[in-house]
A and B are shown apart, each in its own frame.
Chain A
């Protein structure tokens, strides 16, 4: 049976990959889904050296202690979510989570697999900030929201984690799976006046 089932990303029903091929290059922004990422929520005490070094060992990233920041290794990103909470994001197939869990087994820390809990919508281009600003009260101005900054907030009344990936600007918007279609719909509507292209981010 193993090969008969299909894994479906949260936005699979929107056929974004097919739409991406008909992309409009004049668009004010692009939007696409980055699906199937490995994600773990990690809870622990930042001051615990074992914990911090376990994270470093497994992910290659320093544990971000500075609020609202991201540490990245190019392959794995660690997002600060709270004083004792982080999100580790890695490409499909990563085993960072189980390894970290193992490394932390003697300390009071927790690693929870949330890969399936959220998908990522990538917004990029000139008007990406405007679209975010239509539904989110964070200040996305280039002076106050910079590359490798992240924040949890709400976008169009849906909980999101926003991570600025580049100066393009490019944003990863993490949204809970059950909300993903609604958020996408809202984004399409918000982006319409600027013109947008569906992208196929990897």
Chain B
């Protein structure tokens, strides 16, 4: 084949948007082709006379270029290979780059010889919804059927390796955002930009200009390209105007929150080190929708053969890319716009055989254009069939009757490789509708136009149903001026003038939703509505007959408009056919819902940089790097990384935890407890506030003393716990669990601000201020005494549940004598910047005592040995203090506290509530799995009645046996009884219900 056989010379097409001097080589289905800079994959393939590009979804019928941009339903290709591969790109939107590799999708072994075509042969058996009616017998075969169906479906192939590209996000604010860089959008941008407003104008194509790029009309008496260049130059010079080509406005969300997707390197091919795509999140004062209109097809027999193409697309290939979509053409239209196409094609040397017009009376200007070029116009006529094997070779035309539902005998046959079709225009109301905008039906144009919206937005130009260039320019200018004014920007001085063009008089289109076939052939032909999903007019009518009468049922039953093009060209014809079948008007039938995105957007771009390790920020304590350097294994606790255990010399977790636990009871253990939440509570009503928040009483806590508290949510369930200390008169320091630090702070503020604004209390989070280092064990006091000279750390000087201020290892410190291990234990709080220094000082000075850092796992074991609960482990939002056997902490005297009333409800008084107990397995070395369910009768039939589950379970090195905490129905009164735990591996373990305190039940070690 000759290179670019269908590329039109400059003699035929002047000024196309390609650089003929720059060749680009690419591969399609294994063959190398040449294109030019400025080409899309589609235009280059058209120029190379490649017609068969894809196969349809269901019947695997051959598909060629139908559109020239976002609207094309057919030409999906797989671009790139390996990790870089991209499925389902629309060839009309792929910019050519050197070395581009593209292949057809959904065809095997090749797009030319696809075995899937058997579906087409069986298509009689596969009408809309056939799968609901069959594949049910035998029931067990469905899996097999499904396997076959799944493999046949899908289009391109997902990559298998991680995406090598990156994506990022950008927030931006502007006064006026304009979607669409056609004449309407540009006029709006000029008007708004000149006021000084912050303006953004986006267009999803490679260059701005919209229809101007493919049109020969004049603007301001200049060729469109010239005007475009000057407009862009002016916009480019405006400081507050941002012009963004290759940027799709994909969604219009509430309150003018707009999503844009900018393609930054796609046109350059793989291998760039900036983000491949960028998602812009815009807050716009005013939005102008100027996204143009989408041409519709006509539903006639054989309308899916490659070679049948939207008229506007044919003109675009010719005018914009100098690519000839066919040598001989027949134009088939219901409106005047295709006459301009006919003229453009004819002027480019394409032989226009005829214009077949459904109407009796085409517009005068249109007719004139045809007759000036000696093009035959067949009025009140229609194409009743296309002929050809894989592509169109000719058409048959007949006269249409007055009703439009049949033909009049006498046919004309034309040979042609291109049928350029226009079924009228549908404004791109998509974005207008995303945020709830309504549409109105334009009876004359046969389309929906933007109606009411709550957003500060307006639609202009073709997107608003204005199809004349002159109107578009005027309206765009107006909209730009008004939108800017609505955000407070006005051009001072004389009223400026916008761009102009010559208005053209047109006649209205004629809407015939189903073009009759040749007499007698009605049942033999296929007329496609949705070219991607193979929905025909017969499918639409079948659905209606079967009772799927709502448009939404129609859509879902036939899959009309559910493909990757989202029915841009097919929705209205589908609705028209349904309306006719139901004998309703089209607006009564209504339209399906327009949803984001306008065109498909890369999932990685939506995620942006927040993937992999950057999914969420990591929170680190001041000692984090010490832990890291000392081999700690970390545990994720919320966003924190906490040392889980510190394996040494090849220890496994079990060995490390045992060593750490022993050290904490026999020497000194040191824990990084920085993650605890800390809240500074001040004010004359602080103790009253605590009384309301906690279940126990707070009025009498002396300065220097600490108290454990339990917080309930208003439904009576345990929400959080922690120690609160009295710092000075009317000032407390509350600690919370690590996981609840933020939510408790929010909880306190909520009550203060919304319910008790009269309370004089201030809360401030100081979680981040303090590094918390806990030392625990028989030598903890000795160590502390060594490093701290200004606090008497003796049992009397610093009794259990008290705190003092002083210095430890030179750092200003608050030392709390509290214990989560049951040993003598000090929580040393120092300003975070001192955390690491103090940690190192303690490690150095503690070496002689055998100081051992321990992680969260050992902490869990140590506290379980003492029967201390962990909120979120022993509790799950369904446990009351009573269930936890913590009656002692619920004040009987206080008239009220949060959650108190709920505790009195019927269900809380049951004595078979699940209650917290200890468990001893019969075999002391058997460690129960956490979460294991507990039963009374392990031989009971399934479903087996369950009475509780294990909440915590460990092998205690200190006790030399396993211990567990569990909740058991009525457990508090069942101590000594045996229960059973049927495990996943089929074994059943026996265990005795015990108290919760396994170690040092008298609490003697607390005081050392």
Contact = CB atoms under 8 A, between A and B. Distances in A.
A56 interface: no
B63 interface: no
Interface string B668-708: 00000010000010111000000000000000000000000
B683 A4 contact: no
Contacts of B145: none
A114 B764 contact: yes
B620 A8 contact: no
Given A7-B834, A8-B836, A36-B833, A43 B620 contact: no
Contacts of B281: 137
Contacts of B680: 110, 112
Interface in B639-676: 640, 674
B373 interface: no
Nearest to B679: A112
Interface in A163-199: 176-179, 181-183, 185-186, 189-190, 193
A200 interface: no
Interface string A5-30: 11111100100000000000000000
Contacts of A134: 168-171, 609
Contact of A13 (B170, B274, B625): B625
Of the four ranges (under 10, 10 to 19, 20 to 34, 35 or more), the interface on chain B belongs to 35 or more
B170 A133 contact: yes
B319 to A, nearest CB: 37
Contacts of A110: 680, 682-683, 762, 764
Interface in B721-777: 760, 762, 764-770
A186 B841 CA distance: 32
A2 interface: yes
Contacts of A182: 617-620
Contacts of A5: 809-811, 834, 837-838, 840-841
A10 B809 contact: no
Contacts of B768: 114, 116-118, 176-178
B610 A181 contact: no
A109 B683 CA distance: 8
Nearest to A43: B762
Contacts of B764: 41, 43, 110, 112, 114
B17 interface: no
A49 interface: no
B306 to A, nearest CB: 43
A3 B173 CA distance: 51
Interface in A132-150: 133-139, 141, 143-144
Interface in A43-71: 43
Contacts of B682: 110, 112
Interface in B588-645: 609-610, 614, 616-622, 625, 640
Choose among B168, B170, B833 the residue with the greatest number of A CB atoms under 10 Å from its CB.
B833
A96 B848 CA distance: 42
Contacts of B269: none
Given A1-B809, A43-B764, A117-B769, A177 B683 contact: no
A144 to B, nearest CB: 7
Interface string B119-151: 000000000000000000000000000000000
Contacts of A176: 768
A113 interface: yes
A144 B283 CA distance: 13
A177 B617 contact: no
A44 B152 CA distance: 69
Contacts of A190: 168, 609
Contacts of B760: 108
Contact of A3 (B283, B810, B831): B810
A182 B760 CA distance: 37
Contacts of B840: 5
A103 interface: no
Of the four ranges (under 10, 10 to 19, 20 to 34, 35 or more), the interface on chain A belongs to 35 or more
Given A36-B833, A134-B169, A112 B617 contact: no
Contact of B617 (A109, A136, A141, A183): A183
Contact of A133 (B172, B198, B609, B614): B172
A179 B810 CA distance: 26
Contacts of A1: 787, 809-810, 841
A108 to B, nearest CB: 5
Contacts of B610: 156-157
A126 interface: no
Given A6-B836, A134-B171, A157 B198 contact: no
Contact of A130 (B170, B684, B767): B170
Contacts of A8: 622, 833-837
B609 A189 contact: yes
A94 B809 CA distance: 23
B50 interface: no
Contacts of B836: 6, 8
A47 B599 CA distance: 54
B832 interface: yes
A115 B769 contact: yes
Nearest to B625: A13
B244 to A, nearest CB: 15
Choose among A2, A134, A144, A185 the residue with the greatest number of B CB atoms under 10 Å from its CB.
A134
B809 A4 contact: yes
A177 B762 CA distance: 22
Interface in A101-125: 108-110, 112-118
Contacts of B810: 1-5
Interface in B818-853: 831-838, 840-841
A139 B282 CA distance: 10
A113 B809 contact: no
B609 to A, nearest CB: 6
Nearest to A114: B769
A183 B618 CA distance: 9
Given A115-B831, A179-B619, A189-B614, A108 B766 contact: no
A157 B841 contact: no
A96 to B, nearest CB: 16
Nearest to A141: B173
Contacts of A4: 809-810, 837, 841
Contact of A139 (B283, B616, B765, B811): B283
Interface in A73-89: none
Contact of B621 (A3, A133, A137, A178): A178
A177 B622 contact: yes
Contact of B833 (A9, A133, A139, A157): A9
Contacts of B172: 133
A20 B647 CA distance: 36
Interface string B269-298: 000001100000101000000000000000
A66 to B, nearest CB: 21
Contacts of B838: 5
A115 B621 CA distance: 16
Contacts of B617: 156-158, 179, 182-183, 186
A133 B767 CA distance: 28
B604 to A, nearest CB: 15
A189 B831 CA distance: 30
A165 B625 CA distance: 32
A189 B169 CA distance: 12
Given A5-B809, A5-B834, 16 more contacts: A2-B807, A5-B811, A6-B837, A108-B684, A110-B683, A116-B769, A117-B769, A133-B170, A134-B168, A134-B609, A135-B171, A177-B832, A182-B617, A183-B617, A186-B614, A189-B614
16 contacts: A4-B809, A5-B810, A7-B837, A9-B833, A41-B764, A43-B762, A114-B768, A116-B769, A133-B171, A134-B170, A135-B171, A137-B281, A157-B610, A177-B768, A182-B617, A193-B275
Interface of A: 1-10, 13, 35-36, 41, 43, 108-110, 112-118, 130, 133-139, 141, 143-144, 156-158, 176-179, 181-183, 185-186, 189-190, 193
Q: List the 8 closest A-B pairs by CB distance, nearest first.
A: A5-B837, A2-B810, A182-B617, A110-B762, A117-B768, A178-B619, A139-B173, A112-B764
